[in-house]
Amino acid sequence: MIEGKPLRTVRSFVRREGRLTPAQQRGLDELWPDFGIDEGDQILDLNTLFNRDVPKVFEIGFGNGSSLAKMAADQPDHDFIGVEVHRPGVGQLLNNIGEQNLTNLRVACTDAVELLKHQIADNSLDRVQLYFPDPWHKKRHHKRRIIQPDFVALLAKKLKTGGHLHMATDWEHYAEHMLEDLSSSDDFINCGDETGFIPRPDYRPLTKFEQRGHRLGHGVWDLLFKRR
């Protein structure tokens, strides 16, 4: 507390709104009512949200949403919730949902930490996906990285026993940071090999960003941890 005021919560993102294209604005206007998740403080019944009981996957920071839309299309026996703070990406994903007639994908435009805390029930998720989060590579900014012990503990509460946390990054130092924080948790078991990492699983699409990185010789590290 400073002079009677609570300390500001350190966020792992900076809102860079950008300009919405007319198509992205239409997606928000026309498709949000059917596929958007509004902010609130009531726990969501995910089976009611999707009108069925199948595995639930929660992705944090989907960017423009193309990879998440492909995963939803390729895995019709799973339901997906995507969370992104940047409205242009949300509008674009909503358009993908409409164009591909995806019924197994819902979208939230909010802080994923707050959504998890207030609207996602404990022991309700089968997989959490965190792909290429902001590495905040300067040392003084490391406190902004989303993977921290408190957040790992929150994810453990929301995942079912046997559920998985799948992460990927193209920053080796951040990969090591993730590996250390997850390995230090009593709630998770590493599913990787002796290095601690796994090959990219087939269900995670290879993005254009990642393909460009491969051409430039950049590495990508995937980590998979199972909830005890």
Is pLDDT of 226 > 90?
A: yes
To the query of whether residue 134 is one of the catalytic residues in this protein, the response is yes
165, 188 Cβ separation under 8 angstroms: yes
149 or 16: which carries more pLDDT confidence? 149
Q: Rounded distance, CA 45 to CA 169, Å?
A: 31
How much is the average pLDDT of 143-165? Answer: 96
Phi then psi dihedrals of residue 121, to 5 deg: -70, 155
How much is the average pLDDT of 30-52? Answer: 97
How much is the average pLDDT of 55-75? Answer: 97
Residues of the chain with CATH 3.40.50.150: 20-119, 122-228
How much is the average pLDDT of 109-120? Answer: 97
The region of weakest confidence among 10-19, 68-77, 85-94, 190-199 is 10-19
Of these residues, 134, 181, 187, 222, which one is catalytic? 134
Q: Rounded distance, CA 120 to CA 41, Å?
A: 10
Question: Among all chains, which residue has been given the structure tokens 């339901």?
Answer: 79
For domain 122-228, give the CATH number.
Answer: 3.40.50.150
Tell me which architecture the domain covering 20-119 has in CATH: 3-Layer(aba) Sandwich (3.40)
